[in-house]
Every structure is written in C-alpha cells, then in structure tokens.
Structure 1
Amino acid sequence: MAKAEAAEAAAPAGGGKKKLIMILVIVVLLVAVGGGAALMLLKKKPKADEDGEEAVDDHAPQVEVAKAKPGTPPVYMPLEPFTVNLTDQDVDRYAQIGISLEVVDQKTADTLKGYLPSVRSGVLMVLSRKSAADLLSSEGKERLQKEIQREAVRPLGYEVDLDEASEEDTDTAKKKKKKKKKAPLALPVSNVHFSQFIVQ
C-alpha cells in the first residue's frame, strides 16, 4: 500500500514538471518574438547623416514627381476655369483662375477624370481661403500650385504635407530642416499650370 501511495504522489509531481517546462518554453518564445520585433523597430529608426543635421524616416512619404517616359510628350488635363470670392475684408474681390494639371501619362489622366468633382471641390476650397495679397505675389502663386497639386492627388489616395515654414521665422525654418527627411513619394500629377489668372 505504501508503494501505491508513493506512486500516486510522484505522478502529479512529474506532470507538474512537464507543465513548468512548457510554460518556460512559451515564455522564452514570447521573449524572443518580442525582442525580434523591438530590434526591427529600432533598426527602422532614422539614422543621422555625417553632419548630424538630417535624418531619413522610411515611413513618412515626401513629395516627388513621377517622371514620364523619356521621349513622350507631357499629358495635360485642363480644368474648367474657377471663379471665387476672396477673403479680403475691406472690399469685395474675386479671382478667375484657369488651371491645367500635368500628369505622368494618359492612363493617369483618364483615372483622374473619374475623380474630377472631388478635385474641383478641393481646389475651390483652397481658392476660397485666399486673399488678393496671397494670390498676387509670385511666392503666393507657387504656394497655390503646391496646394492645388495636393488637392488633385488626394482623391487618388495620396496625402501630401506642405512645408509650413514661414519666411519671417527663419530660426524655425532652420530647425525644421534638421528634422527628418521623408522618403520620396512619386505623385501622378507632376505640375500645375495656370492658363488664366485674374484678380479683381
């Protein structure tokens, strides 16, 4: 009888050792997987260049224009002219602006035509937030081109961040240059051209 009791007492102890070993194996595997994931995340962190000023972030896209094939003429997609009231408070002013989008190929132009109401709405929203002073300077026109390009590609799933650094705050602009550079993203709308630009 003493042998039977000893065997019964030993059986659960042996089963407990197996459970303990399995738990340890699972814990070791979880630690290994977590460590591997942490290592991959650390590898993807931006590395500073030799000057220590700029870094590259692989996850955040930067605007880069897609190039058409060499020897092929550019494809232009004219939009109907826009007439909008401007935000000037002292006097009622408006702008009439004709725009043509330069796209990388005819296939992109055909795709973009399906999103034309969204593109026009976005451009109208941009124009309606402008004052005459915003539109009359050459810097204002260049800024407007970038904003229109952003609105033209947004319906296709591209999100473009415009540089928000002001000319007056050069210290802030220098600090922003030291921030991360973003990996380039090729945009299907390569340029925005004005065919008409009247501010009255």
Structure 2
Amino acid sequence: MSAAAATDAAPAPKKGNKKLIIIIAAVLVLVLGGGGAAFFLLKKPHAEGEEGEEAAAPAPRAEKKVQHNLDPKHAPTFVPLDPFTVNLADRDAERYAQIGITLEVDDAKLQEALKAYMPAIRNNILMLLAQKTAAQLLDREGKEKLAEQIRREASRALGYEVEDDEDEDTPAAEDKPKKKKKKRAAQVLPISAVHFSNFIIQ
C-alpha cells in the first residue's frame, strides 16, 4: 500500500508545476500587457505635445518669412522733430495747433543732413502751419494734404527744387484750370513720407 501511495503522490507535483507555470505565464502576460498599455498611454500625450509643437512651429516660420521681407539694410529711417505749437490763421477765434511730426527718409545718410538743416526745416514747417485754419486741418483729407506740403517744404529747406504746389484753398487756385494738376508728375524728393505722432487743435 505504501508503494501505491507513493505512485499516486508522484504525479501530483507534475500537476502542481503545470499550474504554477500557467499562473506565472498569466502574471507575466498581465504585467507585460499592463506595461505596454501604460507605455502607449504615457507616450500618446507626449506625442500629441510634439505634434502640437510641430503644428505651432510653422507660425514662427511664417513670422520669420515676413521679417525676411523687411530687409534691415533697406529699412527707412525715421527722424522725429520737436513738437510744433503754432497759432492758426482763423479770424473768428484764436485757435492753435500742437503737432508732432516725424519725417521718413529712405537713405540713412540723409539723417545727418536733416539735423544740419533743422532750423530751416522747422522754419518752413512753422510758416506753412501758420497759414492753415482749424477747418482745413480737422478732417483726414486736410491732414493728408498737410503731410504732403510738409514733405515738400522740408525738401525745399534741404536745397531741393520743388515745384510750387497749387493750394486749392486760395482764390488764385480756384481761378486756374485744374488740368495742370493732372499733368504734373510726382516729384522725387529726399523725404518719402511725413507721419504725425500728435495732432491737437484747440
């Protein structure tokens, strides 16, 4: 009987080994599966962050492209003038204007010439402003016209020959035909534009 018991006990450890191997294999599958799932879940937000960074990357490229078009070698030079305060030509009331002006030039070397001729430039601009009335300067068209006249007067102060501008507000200009204005070609002047930084009329 003891021999029979011994033979019955011998196969039992083999069964137990199979169960142990199956349990270990199942645990390994679960660990590997869980680890793989964790890896993909943690990797996914990181990948989305990288995609978001890649998606955001073209925007700076577009900005660089815009900046590339603005070549610093050919950038205009801006020359701010001291503010002007002048009595206007209104007859019915005392009106005055406070105007901040900045001249734009294409050639940076011209900036030194502007400083050298500044007294003459300021004189010409003051004389021009003193002839204006508040009504002539209040609307946009009047300001644009003034900017062009300042451009011409400042260029004249630098010694450039500037054709006389027919002022439409004067009676003499109303008597003359307007054909002359169409025939006149735009003059090439050293000052390319005039900008207002301040414009107060009181």
TM range (shorter): 0.5 to 0.7
Counterpart of 1:74 (choices 73, 76, 93) is 76
Superposition pairs of residues 119-130 of structure 1, within 5 angstroms: 119-130=121-132
**Structure 1 residues 198 and 165, CA, compared in 2 at 3 Å: closer, same or farther?**
closer
> 1:172, 1:118 → 2: CA distance?
32
Measured after TM superposition, the shift of residue 159 of structure 1 is 2.3
Question: Secondary structure of 2:111's match?
Answer: helix
Equivalent residues, number:
128
Matched, 1:144 2:146: yes
Instruction: Say whether the 8 Å CA contact 2:85–2:96 is kept in structure 1.
Output: yes
Counterpart of 2:198 (choices 188, 196, 199) is 196
> 1:185, 1:129 → 2: CA distance?
23
Higher strand share: 1
Superposition pairs of residues 152-171 of structure 1, within 5 angstroms: 152-164=154-166, 166=168
Higher helix share: 2
**Structure 1 residues 136 and 160, CA, compared in 2 at 3 Å: closer, same or farther?**
same
Instruction: Say whether the 8 Å CA contact 2:124–2:157 is kept in structure 1.
Output: no
The equivalent of 2:180 in structure 1 is 176
The equivalent of 1:131 in structure 2 is 133
Give the partner amino acid of 1:155. Answer: A
The equivalent of 1:102 in structure 2 is 104
> 1:98, 1:109 → 2: CA distance?
18
The equivalent of 2:47 in structure 1 is none
- Normalised to the residue count of structure 1, the TM-score between the two structures is 0.57
Give the partner amino acid of 2:177. Answer: T
* Deviation per residue, 1:43-80 (Å, 9 max, x gap): xxxxxxxxxxxxxxxxxxxxxxxxxxx72221000000
**Structure 1 residues 78 and 166, CA, compared in 2 at 3 Å: closer, same or farther?**
same
Give the partner amino acid of 2:99. Answer: I
Measured after TM superposition, the shift of residue 166 of structure 1 is 3.7
Question: Secondary structure of 2:177's match?
Answer: helix
- Normalised to the residue count of structure 2, the TM-score between the two structures is 0.57
Amino-acid identity (%):
53
Question: Secondary structure of 1:88's match?
Answer: coil
RCO higher in structure (CA 8 A, sep ≥6): 1
Instruction: Say whether the 8 Å CA contact 2:87–2:94 is kept in structure 1.
Output: yes
